[in-house]
Chain A
Amino acid sequence: MGAAQGRGREDWLLAALVAVTAVLAVAPVLRLLLESAFPSAGGGPAVAVLSQPATWNAARRTLETTLGGTLLAAAIGCVMALLAALTDVRARPLLVFGFVLPLMIPPQVTAIAWLQVFGPASPLLKMLDLAPPLGSRNPLYSGEGIVLLLGVHYAPLVFLTLRAGLRRLPRDFVEAALATGASPLRVVATIIVPIMMPSLVAGVMLTMVSCVGNFGIPALLGIPGGYTVLTTLIYQRLAGLGPRVLSDVATLSVLIGLIVLVGIWLQARLLARADYRIAGTSADPPRFELGRWRTAAEALAWGLVLFTFVLPMLAMALTSLVPAYGVKLTAANATLENYRFVIFDHGPTQRAFVNSFLLSAGAALALVALSLPLGWFMARRGGSLLGALAFAAELPYALPGVVLAIACILLFLKPLPLIGLGLYNTVWIILVAYLMRFLILVLRPVVGAYQQLDRSYEEAAQMAGARFAFRQRTIALPMVAPAAAAGALIVFLTAFNELTVSALLWSSGAETLGVAVFSLEQGGDSTYAAALAGLSVVVTIAIMAATSLAGRRMPKGVVPWRD
């Protein structure tokens, strides 16, 4: 009797979890598909949007920048991965941290920082007296600029995927080849390159998908230069014409979504093959001793860190100290005035700090509360429904943020039926969008942790007489807590700096940090933008560093920038 009741309560909990997750994971995608099939708001049929030249122009530019950015990212990422994973360069953990940093910097900040490297007001160029004359155009306001920044920004993505693949490469493969008398270069060409090919292709696909969906970089570089890609086209249409073009932009979103899904599908297939081929073999990856080339390799590695991270950050930091835009920075005129302004005087940024903090912390906590029980059911009960749900939860994160934002507008434009609650034009729509988008970032590590957790731990508690809730509280939760904490942290970091989703969903009073930085830069207040972006970078890096220190207790593979 008691048993049957206990099981019944478990089932109710599961049903509630499934319902919430279905709303978060499935609803946005369904709504979007529905809209492009049966347009509700004004605008012509889907075909009309697709036949406009502006659409095809933007699509072509999306492809161009994506291809260029991906090539550059792959080149930089490959060099980084080979150096960091296969050679005996010194200070490797620090190097890995340095390589991964650009990825943790939000794209709009990357864009702002790089804009300060070139351009007539560049404090760096001014110091060297190399700055172009005032009034001339920043060379980054172009397709080439977008390609450069996409490449630099996403190189860490290729690096991480490739490095993960290389680290699975068993040492014996290489040693067996060396034992046959092959030279190291030959081993790289005949053993390592073929084996790492699938990881490389997977990393490249992932980068392409990310480039297609990127908003911050083409928005800050392309909009002033009149170079429009699909994501910025959606943004401009919606910002300029309002909800009546919703059906049109929904169609565009589906177009981007499809491009991205094809990429993800290809990537998943390639990764599955890669896993299969070298599954089950021993740990330690091989390391080549570089001998007298080591110093050169280290110089190259740190040069890359310098180029991809230090240079733009330095330019941004210097700009944030300039008394007025375009003035040459000297020791005498450097000032913290910009920081004072954005922290104390500027209402929107103050609100943005508070909003972004509450939104990201709230989303992280809510997602932990949802993922802990849901993850347990997914790992322990399995079944096709939960499997499908786990897959569906990937979608809102995999799809470009712009696409998700459009779906949210469609879902919440009208007050919710039954309860009559209107989320549109409030801060809550952003929270819901964050819950949808970042669910997988907590769910994935939590499910992984439960799966790694031997069943016998919970069975031993059962043997001792502990019932479901007590067992969860005393045994299962404490043991997966580190994974949940790591997931929550990543959600916090990502959401805190997020721009793409909130750019379309924010309303007055509900600005986010990303929107505030973006607006300042777009309004020409580059010094304030640089100060604000600098603050957010400092916060991000401080949290990352703290995590790395605390990360020793986290399960392997949860913190991306840690070995």
Chain B
Amino acid sequence: MAGLKLDRATKDFGGPPVVDGVTLDVADGEFIAVLGPSGCGKTTILRLVAGFERLGGGTISIGGRAMSGPGLHVPPEDRRVGVVFQSYALWPHMDVAGNVAYPLRVAGVADGEMRRRVDQALETVGLSGLGARRPADLSGGQRQRVALARCLVMEPSLVLLDEPLANLDTHLRGAMQREFDEYHRRTGTTMLYITHDQAEAMALADRVAVMSQGRLVQLAPPSRLYREPATRMVAEFIGQASVLDCDVLSATEAGRARARVLGIDCVLRAAPGEAPRRAAAACLRPDDIGFAPAAPGAGHATLRRVTYRGGSFALEAAPDAAPAATLRLVAPEPFALEPGARVSLELRDGWIIPGG
């Protein structure tokens, strides 16, 4: 078993840094999801950990052993890190059993033992009896399982997965997510799971790492990430949020501080050490904002869009106090208001973004 440590890991491809001083400490057996917009450097991090790319600065160690650092680069073939590729990378000139057996062949495992372990790995992923098939004759989900089996058969202590479910349909995704989850529970393998599906990240991970432009912005358990985003970017990236300008009026007491948002006084959750300041930002989830219909000319905001979501409506409203901002609200069915209607607001909860 092995933890993973990145210390100020940096990488560029001759331009601005693509991975910029990322420090990450993954405990042994932990399941970490890496989440972030396209091009933020997720795949690059994975390739650095696997050893496919050379580190520009900083260090990476796996299971306490230094792997990449100044003047050091252990090649991928010596790292014993399992990788599940987004494209699966199943070799078309070998059958399924040949693909799965490859790592054992490399390790010089004897034939009988090899067959036993291949069968076992195929059984684990529910593909018993398909060993003689060619990868081309498998469905997308089955290919994904073969890729997983090929990785499992090595019994790696660290498994890296790059958007492993991106090419599958929604239904299959759910099933495969459950399988990853089960595998992780059973073996206690450390997993680094890259995705840009936040629901997937939240469902699977012990902690989620959010990246933006090469930097690690926040590393936290899913509910913390949702309730206490560290920056404006995280707040907007995770779930539905209204990020609004606010003035902090008091220091934090018992986890809360008084604040004024849209000209309304309220009490919001706040990080310890928050002090009165102007031009701060608050993250309000749809559930945090109560609203009621108001007469024309009265109330705090005007409805802009009403979108049916199946069982509920997602609303966007423009507050009078900050017409350029967008309020995101949720209303249960049935709902009768039309765009243009006036509403009055009640701010019940929210989070003062520490850096914002």
- A interface residue numbers (CB < 8 A to B): 2-3, 6-7, 454, 456-457, 459-467, 470, 474-475, 478-479
Most buried by B among A6, A460, A463, A466: A463
Most buried by B among A454, A460, A464, A478: A464
- Asked if residues A464 and B102 are in contact (CB atoms below 8 Å), the reply is yes
User: Is B93 among interface residues, defined by CB-CB distance under 8 A?
Assistant: yes
Q: Which residues of B contact A6 (CB under 8 A)?
A: 75
- Asked if residues B52 and A462 are in contact (CB atoms below 8 Å), the reply is yes
Of B74, B75, B89, the contact of A460 (CB 8 Å cutoff): B89
User: Is B154 among interface residues, defined by CB-CB distance under 8 A?
Assistant: yes
- Asked if residues A470 and B106 are in contact (CB atoms below 8 Å), the reply is yes
- Asked if residues B150 and A478 are in contact (CB atoms below 8 Å), the reply is no
- Asked if residues A465 and B91 are in contact (CB atoms below 8 Å), the reply is no
- Asked if residues B102 and A466 are in contact (CB atoms below 8 Å), the reply is yes
- Asked if residues B81 and A463 are in contact (CB atoms below 8 Å), the reply is yes
Of A3, A463, A478, the contact of B82 (CB 8 Å cutoff): A463
Q: Which residues of A contact B154 (CB under 8 A)?
A: 463-465
Of B51, B77, B80, B81, the contact of A467 (CB 8 Å cutoff): B77
Q: Which of B19-58 contact A (CB under 8 A)?
A: 50-52
User: Is B83 among interface residues, defined by CB-CB distance under 8 A?
Assistant: yes
Docked CA distance A456–B77 (Å): 14
Of A2, A3, A457, A470, the contact of B91 (CB 8 Å cutoff): A457
Q: Which residues of A contact B82 (CB under 8 A)?
A: 463
- Asked if residues A2 and B83 are in contact (CB atoms below 8 Å), the reply is no
Docked CA distance A459–B91 (Å): 11
Q: Which residues of B contact A7 (CB under 8 A)?
A: 75
- Asked if residues B76 and A462 are in contact (CB atoms below 8 Å), the reply is yes
A456-B87 contact in complex given A466-B106, A470-B106, C-beta closer than 8 Å:
yes
Q: Which of B67-102 contact A (CB under 8 A)?
A: 73-78, 80-83, 85, 87, 89, 91-93, 102
- Asked if residues A464 and B150 are in contact (CB atoms below 8 Å), the reply is yes
Q: A-facing mask of B269-299, CB < 8 A → 1, else 0? A: 0000000000000000000000000000000
Given A459-B85, A475-B91, 15 more A-B residue pairs with CB atoms under 8 Å apart are: A3-B75, A3-B78, A454-B89, A457-B91, A459-B50, A459-B76, A459-B89, A460-B83, A460-B89, A461-B91, A462-B51, A462-B52, A462-B77, A463-B82, A464-B103
A461-B102 contact in complex given A3-B78, A454-B87, A454-B89, C-beta closer than 8 Å:
yes
Docked CA distance A399–B153 (Å): 54
Q: Which residues of B contact A460 (CB under 8 A)?
A: 83, 85, 89, 91, 150
Docked CA distance A505–B77 (Å): 50
Instruction: Determine chain A's interface SS by DSSP, over half rule.
Output: helix
Docked CA distance A2–B77 (Å): 11
Q: How far is the CB of A210 from chain B (nearest CB, A)?
A: 37
Q: Which residues of B contact A466 (CB under 8 A)?
A: 77, 102, 106
Q: Which of B134-168 contact A (CB under 8 A)?
A: 150-151, 154
User: Is B107 among interface residues, defined by CB-CB distance under 8 A?
Assistant: yes
Q: Which residues of A contact B92 (CB under 8 A)?
A: 479
- Asked if residues A462 and B75 are in contact (CB atoms below 8 Å), the reply is yes
A457-B89 contact in complex given A464-B103, A464-B150, C-beta closer than 8 Å:
yes
- Asked if residues B150 and A3 are in contact (CB atoms below 8 Å), the reply is no
- Asked if residues A479 and B103 are in contact (CB atoms below 8 Å), the reply is no
A463-B91 contact in complex given A456-B85, A470-B106, C-beta closer than 8 Å:
no
Q: How far is the CB of A276 from chain B (nearest CB, A)?
A: 24
Docked CA distance A464–B149 (Å): 12
Most buried by B among A3, A457, A465: A465
Q: How far is the CB of A231 from chain B (nearest CB, A)?
A: 45
Docked CA distance A461–B154 (Å): 12
Docked CA distance A421–B80 (Å): 51
Docked CA distance A450–B69 (Å): 30
Q: Which residues of B contact A3 (CB under 8 A)?
A: 73-75, 78
Q: How far is the CB of B102 from chain A (nearest CB, A)?
A: 5
Closest 9 CB pairs of A and B: A464-B103, A456-B89, A460-B89, A462-B76, A3-B75, A463-B83, A465-B106, A456-B85, A478-B93
Q: Which residues of A contact B151 (CB under 8 A)?
A: 463
Q: How far is the CB of B126 from chain A (nearest CB, A)?
A: 21
Q: A-facing mask of B199-211, CB < 8 A → 1, else 0? A: 0000000000000
Docked CA distance A464–B195 (Å): 23
Most buried by B among A462, A474, A475: A462
Docked CA distance A496–B278 (Å): 85
Q: Which residues of B contact A462 (CB under 8 A)?
A: 51-52, 75-77
Q: Which of B91-138 contact A (CB under 8 A)?
A: 91-93, 102-103, 106-107
Docked CA distance A462–B89 (Å): 12
Docked CA distance A454–B91 (Å): 11
Q: How far is the CB of B246 from chain A (nearest CB, A)?
A: 47
Most buried by B among A6, A7, A454, A460: A460
Docked CA distance A454–B87 (Å): 9
Q: Which residue of A lies closest to B147 (CB)?
A: A460
Docked CA distance A7–B76 (Å): 12
Of B83, B102, B107, the contact of A459 (CB 8 Å cutoff): B83
Q: Which residues of A contact B77 (CB under 8 A)?
A: 462-467
Q: How far is the CB of B117 from chain A (nearest CB, A)?
A: 13
Q: How far is the CB of A557 from chain B (nearest CB, A)?
A: 19
Q: Which residues of B contact A456 (CB under 8 A)?
A: 85, 87, 89
Q: Which residue of A lies closest to B73 (CB)?
A: A3
Supply 8 A–B pairs (Cβ within 8 Å), ascending by A.
A3-B73, A3-B78, A456-B87, A462-B77, A463-B81, A463-B103, A470-B106, A475-B91
- Asked if residues B103 and A465 are in contact (CB atoms below 8 Å), the reply is yes
Q: Which residues of A contact B76 (CB under 8 A)?
A: 459, 462-463
Q: Which residues of A contact B73 (CB under 8 A)?
A: 3
Docked CA distance A201–B32 (Å): 57
Q: Which residue of B lies closest to A468 (CB)?
A: B77
Q: Which residues of A contact B103 (CB under 8 A)?
A: 463-465
Docked CA distance A478–B81 (Å): 25
Docked CA distance A474–B78 (Å): 18
Q: Which residues of A contact B83 (CB under 8 A)?
A: 459-460, 463
Q: How far is the CB of A109 from chain B (nearest CB, A)?
A: 39
- Asked if residues A464 and B91 are in contact (CB atoms below 8 Å), the reply is no
